[in-house]
Amino acid sequence: MRFVSWNVNGLRAASGKGFSEAFLALDADFFCLQETKLQAGQLDLAFPGYESFWNYADKKGYSGTAVYTRHTPLSVRYGMGIDVHDHEGRVITLEYPGFFLVTVYTPNSQDGLRRLDYRMTWEDDFRAFLLGLDAVKPVIFCGDLNVAHEEIDIRNPKANHMNSGFTDEERGKMTQLLDSGFIDTFRTLHPDLVKYSWWSYRFQAREKNVGWRIDYFITSARLRDKIAEAEIHNEIFGSDHCPVELVLND
C-alpha cells in the first residue's frame, strides 16, 4: 500500500502548478493533503477511482485537510471531538479493517511563539487521541507536524533554536509522542540521511536547500516490519512543501 502526504499551501494555487500531474505520477492508494485553504464547493477536483473526504476550517482560506483514497473506509471521523481544536479543519481519521489512517495539520506556534501554549495543549490532546486509536488497532498518521525533531532535520539548527517549529518544547512533545509507541518511518529507514520537506519562499531557500523536515509519516511501532519504503519527494514542486511517501507491505 502506498501512502502520500503533501501540504499543498492552498490547493487552488497548487492545482495551477502541476498538482494533478504529481498526484497521478505518485499513484498512491491514499493521498493526504494539508493546508487546502478551501471551503466546500470552491474546487471540484476529482480523480477516477478515488473517493475524497474533506475537513474545512470555519475561517475562510485557512488550514483544512483532505484525503483521497482508492479504498472505501469503514468509518470517517473529522477532528478529535474536542471543541477547542475542531474549528480549523486539521484532522481526518479513516478507519480500515487493519489500521486507522489519520492526516493532520498541526498548529504553528507562530511568530513570537504567541500560540505555543495552545500548541502544547494540542500536542497532549492529539497524543491522547492517537493512543486511543492505537488501543483498538495500529495507526498510520501523516502530515505537516510543524516541528523539526532533531538537528539533522533542519539546515541551520543553532540559528533557529527556539524559533517556531524548533523550540525545545515542540521537539520534546515529538519525543514524548515517539516514546509512547510510535516511530518516525523516514528516520527509521534513513537514520543519517539529510533531506528536507519545507523551504521558505524567501531568500531562495529551496534553490539553496535551506530547509526543514517537518512533514512526516509516523506509525504504531508494531508496524515496523511492514515498512518497505519511506521517501521525501523534493524533486516535486508546486508548494513550499514537497510530498512525503510511505509504502507498507500488506
pLDDT, one tens digit per residue, over 149-186 is 999 999 999 999 999 999 999 999 999 999 999 999 99
- Residue 112, pLDDT > 90, answer yes
- Residue 72, pLDDT > 90, answer yes
Is 125 catalytic? The answer is no
pLDDT, one tens digit per residue, over 197-211 is 999 999 899 999 999
Catalytic position from the list 56, 105, 196, 216: 105
pLDDT, one tens digit per residue, over 1-14 is 999 999 999 999 99
Residues 6+ apart with CB under 8 A from 132: none
Report yes or no: 52 and 25 within 8 Å, Cβ to Cβ.
no
Q: Tell me which H or E stretch contains 132.
A: helix 116-134
Is 96 catalytic? The answer is no
**Neighbouring-strand partners of residue 219:** 140, 183
Instruction: Please state the separation of Cα 203 from the chain's center in Å.
Output: 25
pLDDT, one tens digit per residue, over 134-145 is 999 999 999 999
Nearest CA-CA partner of 120 in 102, 146, 141:
146
Catalytic position from the list 134, 144, 153, 215: 144
